[in-house]
A and B are shown apart, each in its own frame.
Chain A
Amino acid sequence: MLQLIVGQLLNGIIIGTLYGIVALGVTLTFGITGIVNFALGAFMAIGAYLGWFLTDGLGIAYPLAVPLAVAITALIGLAADQTLFRFTRNNLINGLIVSIGLISVIQSLLLLAWTTTPKNMHYVLPGVLNFGWFIVPKMKGLVFLILLGVILATYAALTRTWAGRAAYAYAQAPEAATLMGVRTRLLQTGVVVYSTALAGLGGALYASLYSLEVSMGSVYILKGVEAAILAGIGSVMGSLVGGVVLGVTEAVGSLFFPQAYRDAYGLVFLVLILLLRPSGLFGAGR
C-alpha cells in the first residue's frame, strides 16, 4: 500500500504542475488586470490542438511544434487582449463575462476546424522510468520538469528583473507604480499575453500525454482557479504548490475512495483550507 501511495504522490505532483501552470496564468492576470480570465482553459485547448496538428498533421518535430504552438497561442492571446480584455481592465464582472463568451467562441472555432472527434498524438517519448518502488512514464516526467522550470523561471523573472518588480509594484499599488514610470498598458498586455502563452504551453505538453477534445480546458481552468485560491491569489510559487496539493489530493484520494468522485476530493480540501485560512495557504492574512 505504501508503494501505491508513494507512486500516486508522485503522480499527483506531476499532474499538479499542469494545474499549477494554469493557476499561474490566473493569478498573474488577476493581479495585474483585475480580471479572472476563465478563457485560459480554452487557450490551453488551442495550445493542445496546435501541438497535435503541427506534429501529427504537418509533421513538424514535437520539440519545434511546442514553441510554435505557444507562440501562435500567445498571438491569439494578444488579439483577444487588444480587441476584448483591453476594455475590461479592473472590472471583474465585465472581464468574467467576456472571458466566458470567449470560451464559446474558441470552442466553436476548434470544433469547426477539427470536429468533436477526440484526437490522439503519436507517442513522443514512450516508455517508463523504473525506480523499483514506483514507475514514472518518461513523457510525464519530462512534462513535469519543463513546467517546473517555467514556473521557477517566471518566479525568478518576477523577483529579479526590473519588469518583474514593476509588475509586483503595480499589483500592490497601481497608482504609485504608474507615477514611478511603470508603463501600465504595456505591462497589462504583456501579462495577458504571457498568461495565454503559459496556458498554450500547458496544452501543447498535455497533447503528448492525453487525448484531446475541445472542452478539455474547462476542467483545467477550474483546477487552475481552485489552485490559485488554495494558494492565495497573487502568489506565484503558491500557484505551483496549490496545483500540486490539488493533484496529490485527487491522486491519493482516488486510491481510498472511488475515482468517479476525484474532482470532489480537491474541492473538499479547498473548503477545509479556506475555513482555516480564508486568504489561502500563501495569501497575506488580514
Chain B
Amino acid sequence: MRNCRHHIDRLCAGAFAAALFLVTAAATPVAAQEIVKIGEIEAQTGALNTYGWMSSQGMRMAVDEINKAGGFEVAGKTYKLALLNPDTQGNPQQALIELKKMLEQEHVRFVFGPFLTNVYKGIEPYATGFDGKFLLMGGATAIHFDLGKPKHDFAIRTWNWDAGASGFGSLMVANLKQRGAKKVAMLMQNDAFGHVARDIYAPLFKDAGIVFEEEWFEPGTTDFSSVLAKIAANKPDYVFPGYSDAVLYDIVHQATELGLTRFWLVRGSLGPGLKNKDYLDDYIIYIPKYFEEAQNTEPKVKKFVADYKAFYKTDFPYDQAPLCSSSCYDHVFMLVEAMKRAGTVDDVAKVKEALLSFTYNGLWNIRYDATGEEVFNFDVVDIKKGGKIEVTHIAPK
C-alpha cells in the first residue's frame, strides 16, 4: 500500500513538473508582447462633447494602427497598447470616478485628457495624490496655471490656446486691434472655464486699449435674447461668445437677429458660423487645422482623412477634426516615441523628460516647452457673409 502511495506521489510530482514546463513555455511568447495601458477621460457625449469626442476618435485610431503594426519595442521588449476610454459626458464627478478606476484598479500610468477646465478642476485635487506615479496629458486651460507647481509634475498641457507664452491669447487680441475693434463684449458660461477666460482676456484687452464688457449665462440656457439685447445696446464691435457648439448655435442665431454680426475668438466647430453664414459679417474662429484645405496640401492629413473613413466607415467629421490637436492621434504616437527614447514604459519621470525633448511631425508639428505646455501650429478661419472662408496659418516659434 505504501509503495503504491509512493508511486502515485512521484507520478503527481512528474505531472506537476510537466504542467509547469508547459505553462512556462506557453507564457513565453505572451511575455514578449506585453501591454501598456493608456487611459483617456473625455466627454464623448453631452453638451460639451465638442471637446472630447474627436480626441477619443483619434486615439482609438492611433492605438489600432500601432497594434496592427505589431506594437512597439522598448528596451528589447515588444509592447502593444490597451486603451481605456470611458465617456465622462463632461461631468467632473464621472471623470473622477473613471480616473480613480484607472489609477487604483487598472494601474494606468498615462492618462489623456481632460479638455475641459471644470473637469480638470474636479480631478486635480485627487490627481495630486498620485504625483510622480502617472502623467495627465490634457488640453484644459486651467492646467496651464498648475504647470511647474509643487505636486503637479503629473500635469502636461496638450494645447496652447488662450494662456501660455506660446499661446495665442495675446496674439489674437493684437489681431483684433488691427481690425479696428474698440469694444468687445464677452458672453460666457458661468463656469470654471468662463471665469478662467475672463481672467486671461480682461487684462489683455485693457493693455490693448479695447473696452471689454462681460455678461454671463447659466449652463442650460437656450434663450439669450435679453442679454444679447443688452449687449447690442452697447454696440460692441465684436461678440466674444460661449465656448461650445451646444450654446453657440443659439447665441449666434439670436445675436444675428439683433444685429450683432461680428464674432471673435469663437471656438468649437465651424458649424454655428456656417449655419448662420447669410446673417453674419465676420465669424473669426480659431481652429487648430482647417482640414478641408489641409487634406489637399499635406499628405499626412490626406492619409488621416482616408484612414478615418476606412476605420469608422463613415464620412470624415471636418467640423470636429481640428480638435484632434489635443490629446488625440498624434499624441499617442508621441507618447510611444517618448517611451522608446526613455527606454521604459513604467518610469513616468523618464518618459516625461523624453516627451519634452523632441518635436513630433504628425498632423501637426508638436513640441512641448520646458514647462510641459504644447506648442503647435494652428489656423485662423474667418467666415465672411455668405460663407466665404479665409484661412491664416500660424506657426509659433
Residues of A whose CB lies within 8 Å of any CB of B are 1, 4, 7-8, 11, 15, 115-118, 120, 123, 126, 128, 135, 137, 209-211, 213, 215-216, 219, 250-252, 254-255, 258-263
Q: Is the CB of A260 within 8 A of B230?
A: no
Instruction: Provide the residues of chain A in CB contact with B227, threshold 8 Å.
Output: 254, 259
Instruction: Provide the residues of chain A in CB contact with B245, threshold 8 Å.
Output: 118
Instruction: Provide the residues of chain A in CB contact with B225, threshold 8 Å.
Output: 8, 11, 15, 251
Of B43-51, B300-308, B339-347, the stretch lying at the interface with chain A is B43-51
Given contacts A211-B246, A260-B190, contact A118 B226 (CB under 8 A): no
Partner of A260, one of B45, B216, B222, B223: B216
Q: Is the CB of B49 within 8 A of A116?
A: yes
- Taking the complex as formed, is B257 at the interface, i.e. its CB lies under 8 A from any CB of chain A? yes
Q: How far is the CA of A123 from the CA of B275 in the complex (A)?
A: 9
- Taking the complex as formed, is B150 at the interface, i.e. its CB lies under 8 A from any CB of chain A? no
A259 (CB) vs chain B CBs: closest residue: B227
Instruction: Provide the residues of chain A in CB contact with B250, threshold 8 Å.
Output: 210-211
Instruction: Provide the residues of chain A in CB contact with B230, threshold 8 Å.
Output: 4, 254-255, 259
| Interface size, chain B (Cβ < 8 Å) | 32
Q: Is the CB of A135 within 8 A of B257?
A: yes
Q: How far is the CA of A7 from the CA of B218 in the complex (A)?
A: 22
A219 (CB) vs chain B CBs: closest residue: B220
Q: Is the CB of A117 within 8 A of B46?
A: yes
Q: Is the CB of A117 within 8 A of B45?
A: yes
Given contacts A15-B223, A116-B45, A118-B47, contact A255 B216 (CB under 8 A): no
Q: Is the CB of A137 within 8 A of B217?
A: no
Partner of B258, one of A15, A115, A135, A250: A135
Q: Is the CB of A263 within 8 A of B218?
A: yes
Given contacts A128-B257, A135-B257, A259-B216, contact A250 B226 (CB under 8 A): yes
Q: Is the CB of B226 within 8 A of A262?
A: yes
Q: Is the CB of B226 within 8 A of A116?
A: no
Q: Is the CB of A11 within 8 A of B229?
A: yes
Q: Is the CB of A213 within 8 A of B229?
A: no
- Taking the complex as formed, is B395 at the interface, i.e. its CB lies under 8 A from any CB of chain A? no
Given contacts A1-B233, A254-B230, 6 further A-B contacts (CB under 8 A): A4-B229, A11-B225, A118-B47, A211-B222, A211-B247, A259-B227
Output the least CB separation between B56 and chain A (Å).
Answer: 13
Q: Is the CB of A211 within 8 A of B216?
A: no
Q: Is the CB of A120 within 8 A of B47?
A: no
Q: Is the CB of A259 within 8 A of B222?
A: no
Q: How far is the CA of A263 from the CA of B223 in the complex (A)?
A: 12
Instruction: Provide the residues of chain A in CB contact with B215, threshold 8 Å.
Output: 258-259
- Taking the complex as formed, is B141 at the interface, i.e. its CB lies under 8 A from any CB of chain A? no
